Chain A
Amino acid sequence: KAGVTQTPRYLIKTRGQQVTLSCSPISGHRSVSWYQQTPGQGLQFLFEYFSETQRNKGNFPGRFSGRQFSNSRSEMNVSTLELGDSALYLCASSLDGGGHTEAFFGQGTRLTVV
């Protein structure tokens, strides 16, 4: 079956702009989580969506937001981009987001803010 698909793979934006990243989970998976990966901070949890509702949220400013659609596809939006937002953004899907279930990761979207 198809894996987790993230689009686009690469993105270059200017400070102050906004960006939307997309994630299509594995068919049948209802939980989608987003992570920011940087060399300095490692993998940091952004938020998790389950059945179109944000179920958990990490410690990121309100400029980071997301949503999930009825088909479980998810989008993540970052407004008023800052240089420090340059990172690899990873999306992971799982059946129900329970701690015991395996999370399947996409290849990520590499965002560069200039």
Chain B
Amino acid sequence: AQSVTQLDSQVPVFEEAPVELRCNYSSSVSVYLFWYVQYPNQGLQLLLKYLSGSTLVKGINGFEAEFNKSQTSFHLRKPSVHISDTAEYFCAVSDKSGGSYIPTFGRGTSLIVHP
């Protein structure tokens, strides 16, 4: 079964600083990769996804992520964060299992942006 590890449970950062949220998954032949964001008392919203092609994926709100197959990683980055980026971020991986793709989510990383 697929497993997803988000290495940092909490990442504090100052406003306008760069940030990287790390995500590693267990090896698989064919995977789709996602990053979701969850604001307080809200559901999850898709930030970006990797299906195939270019390993650098750009998403909403200035976020981007890079797929690294050899390291089985999909780290999320933003060059300059805003207070409004404070939220919980989830990495998810879809791995074909029994004919259907069932996404596995990481435990989440809480991004805390300080003024």
Q: Which residues of A contact B (CB under 8 A)?
A: 4, 35, 42-43, 45, 48, 55-56, 58, 90, 92, 97-100, 102-108
Docked-complex contact A97 and B42, CB < 8 angstroms? no
Please indicate the chain B residues that have their CB under 8 angstroms from the CB of A35 in the complex.
Answer: 105
Please indicate the chain A residues that have their CB under 8 angstroms from the CB of B102 in the complex.
Answer: 45, 48, 56, 58
Measured in the bound complex, the distance between the Cα atoms of B100 and A48 in whole Å is: 10
| A89 → chain B closest CB, angstroms | 11
| B59 → chain A closest CB, angstroms | 11
Instruction: Count chain B CB atoms within 10 A of each CB in A92, A105, A106 and give the residue with the most.
Output: A105
Give the nearest-CB partner of A40 in chain B.
B107
Q: How many residues of B contact A (CB 8 A)?
A: 24
| A1 → chain B closest CB, angstroms | 15
Interface of B is mostly: strand
Docked-complex contact B90 and A107, CB < 8 angstroms? no
Measured in the bound complex, the distance between the Cα atoms of B44 and A106 in whole Å is: 8
Please indicate the chain B residues that have their CB under 8 angstroms from the CB of A107 in the complex.
Answer: 41-43
Instruction: Count chain B CB atoms within 10 A of each CB in A43, A90, A98 and give the residue with the most.
Output: A43
Docked-complex contact B44 and A90, CB < 8 angstroms? yes
Q: Which of A42, A99, A104, A108 contacts B103 (CB under 8 A)?
A: A99
Instruction: Report the 5 A-B pairs with minimum CB-CB distance, sorted nearest first.
Output: A99-B101, A99-B94, A105-B43, A43-B105, A42-B107
> Does B98 reach chain A (CB closer than 8 Å)?
yes
User: What are 26 A-B contacts with C-beta separation under 8 Å?
Assistant: A42-B90, A42-B106, A42-B107, A42-B108, A43-B105, A45-B102, A45-B105, A55-B100, A56-B98, A90-B43, A92-B43, A97-B101, A98-B100, A99-B96, A99-B100, A100-B32, A100-B49, A100-B94, A100-B101, A102-B49, A103-B44, A105-B44, A106-B43, A107-B41, A108-B42, A108-B43
